[in-house]
Amino acid sequence: MFGYYLNLALRSFRRNRVLTALMVLAIALGIGASMTTLTVFHVLSGDPIPQKSDRLFYVQLDPEPRDGYKPGEEPQDQLTRFDAQELLRQKKAKRQAMMTGGGGVLEPEGTKLKPFVLSMRYTSADFFPMFEVPFQRGRPWTGADDEARARVAVITRELGEKLFGSGDPVGRELRIEGNALRIVGVLDTWKPTPHFYDLNTGRYDNDEEVYVPISTALDLKLGRNGSMNCYGRTVTSDPTAENVPCTWMQYWVELASAGDAAAYKRYLDNYSEQQRSAGRFERPANTRLRNVMEWLEFRQVVPGDVRLQLWLAFGFLLVCLLNTVGLLLAKFLRRSSEFGVRRALGASRRAIFTQCLVEAGTVGLAGGALGLGLALLGLWGVRQRPAEYAQLAHLDGGMLLLTFALAIGASLLAGLLPAWRAMRVPPALQLKSQ
């Protein structure tokens, strides 16, 4: 029966081309606007590491002076070097990584390339298995390399091809800021979106090219990127020194299960009280432990204007649906005599209702196809914007399917009232009028 109803719908479209075109256009405009903003929202709010985001936690402590303290207020976003190193030394989690962003000048050797500035990540060995970073060649450095402050580095595949062509970079040297670092591994393509593990050096457009043990980077005094907040009265020429009261380190832990978060939170509270007893901390224990998605939500990674545009687009889709309801009502009521004859010949009300819904769904399918083109055009416009997330605005397979599902679902919803009115047409009255 579906094929029969579909054939009736296509015949109806040919008889009422202008009305059909208006309905298709109304659906397409609403779908185009909605899918453009929904795709951007989907890209920005997605889970960057869904297989374990509930087991990865960002650590916050509160080492600031007691002056101005308000119970329950949010602690610093980052840790001091001392606290990050101490938590790393105690190793109370399955894996733990301290890190910060960095940068420096690479001096290529034996090539025609001129020196250029690199974006780097200084971190500890657990970073790679914790975040499941894929390797194309070689391996990450080890915890022993961290302790030995080994002059090693991991680079991206793109940097390896730029410097060494198709050759194997593993075992070769990089010279950064005059320091020779031996390459032990080459990453495969890896760019989590958003850049969740360090939101201070870029949320969507940060491309780190070299990874160096943080102990090595501190030993060589390589340049750093990102925010830093210093407090207290200590004055020093080196704010990155170990005992300086400045927060500038990110610290992540991986727990065996999400249920272990409470126990680790108690450990952080105990650590804070120990530091308070030692005179380093002045405030009562004020710690936070958020998993990946909680951390992204807290930091409001999705821009407010994107959320607003999403609501406006769905409001526009609602207006388009109301217009479609009116057009379908006009179309079906003009065919009252047709429905009356079908009812007189034995068609049930359910059959009339189904026929009208199939016709409405067919309008939605055509509107979805046109709306897809409008969405692609809208996403192209988004990519022309100067926003840091602009280049991520692409329609993936899931969103492509959602485009047609939303279009057909919206048109079926719009067709409910007109179909209900059509099935209640009295057949006797229509036959008498004929």
Q: In terms of DSSP H, where are the helices of 214-303?
A: 214-220, 261-277, 292-298
pLDDT for the residue 211: 97
CB-side exposure of 25: number of CA atoms within 13 Å? Answer: 7
pLDDT for the residue 220: 94
pLDDT digits (tens, 9 = 90+) for 62-103: 998 888 778 878 999 999 999 999 999 999 999 999 999 999
pLDDT digits (tens, 9 = 90+) for 315-329: 998 998 898 888 888
Q: Are 139 and 184 in contact (CB under 8 A)?
A: yes
| Integer Cα distance of 362 and 351 in angstroms | 17
pLDDT for the residue 141: 96
Q: Which of 44, 54, 36, 76 is nearest to 301 (CA)?
A: 44
| Integer Cα distance of 420 and 299 in angstroms | 48
DSSP string over 299-347: TT-S-HHHHHHHHHHHHHHHHHHHHHHHHHHHHHHHTHHHHHHHHHTT-
For the chain, how many residues are written?
434
pLDDT for the residue 13: 67
Residues of the chain with pLDDT under 50: 430-432
What residues does each domain of the chain span?
2-47+303-433, 62-286
